[in-house]
Each structure stands twice: as C-alpha cells, then as structure tokens.
C-alpha cells in the first residue's frame, strides 16, 4: 500500500514539474512579445515627433513659397507701372521682322556655329548667339513681336556672363533693334511690401550697329 502511495506521489510531482516548465516557457514567450512600457512610450514619442517635424516643414515650405510668389507679383505689378509706351510696328516692319526670324532659326546641333547672324554689334559690344537660353530679363517696354516685357537671352556679349542681348531683333523706324541689359535703380520703384524679384536682368532696346542690313548678311 505504501509503495502505491509513493508511486502516486512521484507521478503528481512529475505532473507539477511539467506544468511548472510549461508555465515558465509561456511566460518567457509572452514577455518577449510584449514591449516594455517605457520602450513603447519612447517609440510612440519618436513617431509623434517625426510626424510633427514633417508637418512643420511642409507648412513652413508652403508659407515661404506663398511669400515668394506674393513678393514677386508685387514687384511685377510695380514694374508694369513704369513701362514705356508700347512699340507699334507697321505691316512692313512686321513682315521684315518675321522674315528675319525665319532666317535666324538655329540649324543643326549646338556645336554648329555656322548660324545666320551668329555675331552682331550693339552699343560697341560684339555679341554672339546662344544656343540654349537659360537667363531672362524684364524689359522696360513690351517686345513688339513677342508681346511680353519678359524674354530670355539670345546673345552673350562678354565672357563673364554680365552682358547679354535678350529677345529677337525687330525692325522699327528704319533700324534694327534688340534689348540689352541695363542697370536699374530699384529704390525708386513703388513696390508694395513684401517686394521681391526673380528677374536676373533688366533690359532696354538698343540699335544694332552692325550689320546694318540684317536680311542681306
């Protein structure tokens, strides 16, 4: 009888031992899958900070872009007020100008410098044609053919990148003209605040000194 009791006790002990091992294993697994509260809190805080930083950056960029656009618009509105009278070409002047435009179409790639009117002289400057225009200027008059007071450069007149001709040549009152960049005193401009500009240059029309006859060059 005593032997049976000992066997039963040993079996109960084994069951308890197995149960204890299973309990410890389950606890360990559960602990491994659950992030400690401090780590979880830090993770949530980092995510929140990142979202806030992104939101702040987007808002700041939007405000800066809006301010820049407003500043530029204010400048353009002020510039329009000081434009000179528009140049009006007659039918013959328009026809001659259009004819020159056809002749001046760039032929071939940028390395082909054998172009019509590749070199001209303006205001004692020798200027050569530009294949790919990047810079632009505000004119003090509306271009009579392009019908805008903004245009990109078409000729460069020095190697330092300070002097350019802008827009296409046009025939007016017996002479050929083109726009050359000039210095402008912007302190006299009646510009609403905020006031800023994106224009790189300012230009006014100058007579082309050479060649005299652009259509028979």
Going from the first residue of the chain to its last (217 residues), give the mean pLDDT of each consecutive group of 10, the final group possibly shorter.
Answer: 43 49 47 50 58 50 64 91 95 96 92 92 95 89 95 92 94 96 90 87 96 85
- The answer as to whether 69 is a domain residue is no
**Pick from 162, 132, 168, 164: nearest CA to 148:** 168
Question: For position 32, what pLDDT does the model report?
Answer: 47
- The answer as to whether 3 is a domain residue is no
H-helix segments, 82-109: 91-103
Domain count, the chain: 1
- The answer as to whether 56 is a domain residue is no
- The answer as to whether 97 is a domain residue is yes
- The answer as to whether 178 is a domain residue is yes
Evaluate if pTM is beyond 0.75. Answer: no
Sorted by sequence, the CB contacts under 8 Å of residue 58 that are 6+ apart come out as none
Question: For position 137, what pLDDT does the model report?
Answer: 95
Question: For position 145, what pLDDT does the model report?
Answer: 95
Radius of gyration of the chain (CA): 39
CA atoms of 192 and 76, how far apart (whole Å): 10
Q: Which domain holds residue 106?
A: 79-216
- The answer as to whether 31 is a domain residue is no
- The answer as to whether 172 is a domain residue is yes
């Amino acid at each position: 009888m005593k032997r049976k009791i000992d066997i039963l006790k040993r079996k109960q002990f084994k069951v308890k031992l197995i149960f204890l091992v299973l309990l410890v294993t389950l606890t360990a697994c559960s602990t491994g899958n659950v992030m400690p509260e401090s780590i979880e809190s830090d993770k949530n805080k980092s995510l929140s900070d990142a979202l806030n930083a992104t939101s702040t950056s987007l808002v700041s960029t939007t405000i800066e872009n809006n301010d820049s656009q407003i500043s530029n618009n204010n400048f353009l509105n002020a510039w329009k007020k000081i434009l000179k009278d528009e140049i009006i070409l007659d039918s013959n002047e328009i026809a001659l100008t259009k004819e020159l435009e056809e002749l001046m179409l760039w032929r071939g790639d940028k390395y082909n410098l054998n172009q019509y009117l590749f070199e001209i002289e303006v205001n004692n400057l020798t200027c050569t044609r530009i294949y790919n225009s990047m810079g632009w200027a505000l004119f003090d008059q509306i271009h009579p053919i392009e019908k805008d007071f903004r245009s990109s450069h078409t000729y460069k007149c020095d190697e330092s990148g300070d002097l350019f001709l802008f827009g296409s040549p046009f025939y007016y009152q017996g002479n050929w003209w083109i726009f050359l960049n000039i210095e402008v005193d912007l302190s006299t401009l009646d510009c609403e605040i905020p006031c800023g500009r994106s224009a790189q240059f300012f230009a006014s029309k100058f007579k082309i000194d050479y060649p005299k006859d652009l259509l028979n060059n």
